[in-house]
Structure 1
Amino acid sequence: MKTVTQREFRNNSAAVMDAVEAGEIYHITRNGIEVAELRPLARRRRLTAEELVARHRRPPRVDYEHMRQEADKFFDAYDNSAEHTENTVIASPTFRPTTPAENQVRTTGAVGCDRGHGDRVG
């Protein structure tokens, strides 16, 4: 750990930052009193291409029966919940999907333009 004054840090900030990047820790003082600590961030080590290939060569084992049991248990609980069954809409006879062109005219009033400029429908 090194100690530098505020003025030294200001005047030599590039050198101090290079040292911090290399792993050095600095305490910065103002009027002789330590006011800050400058340290490198903990970073995850990047994996090499070979390490990535080795890691993904053998994917983790999956117990499909256990996964299916958990999914069935989760969705059965959801299907049987009071909130879900009371608010479920089965079908709406008035619902009709719209085409992108219909949506454009309805929202912008414009025909043939993606940004709403040009000819107006009127």
Structure 2
Amino acid sequence: MPKQQFKAQADICKKSLDVLLKAIEVDPGNAEEYQAGIAYTENVMKASNAIVKAFDVVEPPKAATTKEKSEETPKDEKPKRKRKAKTSKESVPVDSEPATDETQPMVEPSVEENADLFAMFGD
């Protein structure tokens, strides 16, 4: 969070420098005051940029630490697979009743088939 604040401060200083430079053009009588403001703003901007760099050195960005960790992991370990999300094309609706062909009549099992079934269970 503080790093972002110092980045914002550097951006504000840059805009302030532009305003001070235009003020010198518009009001040259107070150029000495504006020059003092420019010197101060430049110092604040340099300090803010230095602090941002210091944050990068002390606390590297998350993308860099993730990359370093991935290089340190042994090659034997396999990365975890990510599951694919099912799309509407992949999902197949399941009917509660199987589809029957109306052109074919239902065939009743024969008596012999029934006897074989009962014989299987010992009855």
- Please tell me the TM-score bracket, short chain as reference: under 0.3
Report the TM-score when normalising by structure 2: 0.23
With a CA cutoff of 8 Å and minimum separation of 6, indicate the structure with the bigger relative contact order: 2
Q: Name the larger-Rg structure.
A: 2
Q: Which structure shows the higher helix fraction?
A: 2
Point out the structure with the larger strand share.
1
Alignment TM-score, normalising by the size of structure 1: 0.23
